[in-house]
Structure formats: C-alpha cells, structure tokens
C-alpha cells in the first residue's frame, strides 16, 4: 500500500509525545518524558502512557519518567499495531504501571483505551453536503435534543454544524489543543440521536476538513476501534489510516 506522508500531523504528535517522529525510522522507540505528567488540555487527567503506532511502521511509546523498566518485558512482545490492539496488552500495561504508581504513592490509572487515527489532506479530501451546514461562532442556533455544542470553541474555534429543522443536528469541531491550531484540526464530532445515519456527520466533518485543508493544514480524526460507523464516516470524507493509539490516563490529584 502506498502511504502518504502527513508532515504537519507528524510535527503535532512529535510535540505531544515528546519524540521526533519526522526523524524516526520505522521501528520502536520508548521515551520517558515530563509531558506525561501534564494535564491534557481541556481535561482533568494526564496520559501516563501514550503509545502510537503509525501506519508506516514508526512506533513511539511515551511514558511518565522512570516507568520504562516496569513495562519493558511487555513492550518486547508487542511487535506490530495488530498486537497493540490486543486487549490483553492494555491490561498488562495497566497492571504493571499501577503497581509502579502504587509504590510511588501516585494516582492510579482510571481511564484510557485504544483508538484508530485517520488523516486527511488535499490529496484525499472528499466533500459531502447533505444538508445546510454553517460555521458556528455561538449558540444562536439551538442544538437538537441530545446534542451538546462545543461552546468552549466559541467564538474563534473551528466549528461547523449541519442544520436540520432549525437546529444543529450534527456538529464537527477542532479541539482547542493550544498547539498548531491553524495547521492541524484534531477533530471531534457529535450527532443528535434522532438524526443519525443520515450522512449529517459527513457534512459537518467535511466542512471542517475543507476549511483546514483549504488553508494548507491537515486533519486528524480519532475513533474507537470498535466503532464501525465512526470509521465509515472518516473514510467517507477521504481520511486514510494514520495510526493506532493506546492511552492510559490518570486523574490529576491537585493543581
């Protein structure tokens, strides 16, 4: 399969993982970094472990400082992205890290999971418009029942809504990561329950992607590995496989 390079996404993840993806040859590297002690933007937790296995064979395991030795035996057995998807791997890593955290008196892992990451650029984008779609800068158009608007992105964030029956039925937006926001759209998407399976998510997603790609950027879309509907939405707008990502998170005990 011919793999397409996504240099902006590589740079974006390089900062978040604290590893130079653009200089990493196919293979595995483990990085212990203080970035894993920091609260993830807009959330009350830290990624104690973040393992990203890119579609071209590059693999980075980013860990809290000092934790490498406690997971080294497990990581030696994981030799592909398919192995990383095995639930037993996450369970083993979680058990090992929790033992290490307990010994240190630190907060235990309480969340995380496996996700598939897709990428899109100008070479792949497919535009869909199955309803009216507007850029949203406030909540003046009400959301449909069961849908929450990403008000933390208003007024300047990148948010598009598919409008049906006078309300926002599906919304796609770029997370406010504080990093390369003018170059990378790290996308979130939600659709009201009564409006699903109508192609509205495609409409909103392609609008955000078109905006970001039109200004020279790239798009990152993450979803659960067991969510075929979300995977289909990503592929429908031209997103291609970029990486498999495993995260284990712990709450921040105090600020």
Query: What is the average pLDDT score of the chain?
Result: 93
Gap between the Cα atoms of 107 and 155, Å rounded: 35
Mean pLDDT of 10-22: 93
Angle between helix axes 228-236 and 200-214 (nearest 10 degrees) is: 50
Gap between the Cα atoms of 65 and 34, Å rounded: 6
Domains by residue range for the chain, with CATH:
7-116+244-251 (no CATH), 132-238 (3.40.630.30)
Q: What's the pLDDT tens digit per position in 215-244?
A: 999 999 999 989 999 999 999 999 999 999
What's this model's pTM, rounded to 2 decimal places? 0.93
pLDDT at 255 over 50: no
Query: Is the CB of residue 112 less than 8 Å from the CB of residue 249?
Result: yes
Mean pLDDT of 13-19: 95
Q: Is 130 exposed, middle or buried (0-12, 13-18, 19+ CB in 10 A)?
A: middle
Query: Is the CB of residue 159 less than 8 Å from the CB of residue 204?
Result: no
Give Cα 175 to chain centroid, integer Å: 9
Q: What letter does residue 95 receive in the DSSP assignment?
A: H
Q: How far apart are the first and last CA of the chain?
A: 46
Q: What's the pLDDT tens digit per position in 136-190?
A: 999 999 999 999 999 999 999 999 999 999 999 999 999 999 999 999 999 999 9
């Amino acid at each position: 399969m011919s793999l397409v390079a996504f240099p902006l996404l590589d740079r974006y993840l390089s900062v978040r993982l604290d590893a130079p993806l653009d200089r990493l040859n196919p293979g595995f590297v483990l990085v212990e970094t203080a970035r894993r002690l920091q609260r993830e933007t807009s959330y009350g937790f830290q990624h104690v472990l973040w393992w990203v296995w890119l579609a071209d064979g590059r693999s980075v395991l980013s860990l809290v400082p000092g934790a490498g030795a406690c997971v080294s035996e497990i990581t030696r057995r994981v030799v592909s992205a398919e192995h990383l998807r095995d639930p037993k791997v996450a369970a083993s890593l979680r058990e090992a890290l929790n033992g290490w955290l307990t010994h240190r008196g630190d907060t235990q892992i309480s969340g995380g999971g496996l996700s598939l990451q897709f990428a899109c650029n100008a070479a792949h984008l497919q535009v869909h418009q199955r309803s009216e779609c507007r850029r949203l800068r406030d909540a003046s158009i009400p959301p449909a029942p069961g849908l929450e608007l990403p008000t933390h992105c208003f007024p300047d964030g990148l948010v598009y809504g598919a409008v049906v029956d006078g309300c926002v039925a599906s919304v796609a937006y770029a997370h406010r990561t504080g990093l390369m926001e003018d170059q990378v759209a790290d996308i979130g998407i939600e659709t009201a329950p009564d409006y699903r399976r109508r192609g509205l998510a495609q409409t909103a997603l392609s609008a955000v992607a078109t905006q970001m790609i039109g200004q020279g950027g790239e798009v990152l879309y993450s979803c659960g590995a067991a969510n075929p509907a979300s995977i289909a939405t990503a592929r429908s707008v031209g997103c291609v496989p970029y990486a498999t990502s495993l995260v284990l998170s712990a709450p921040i005990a105090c600020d």
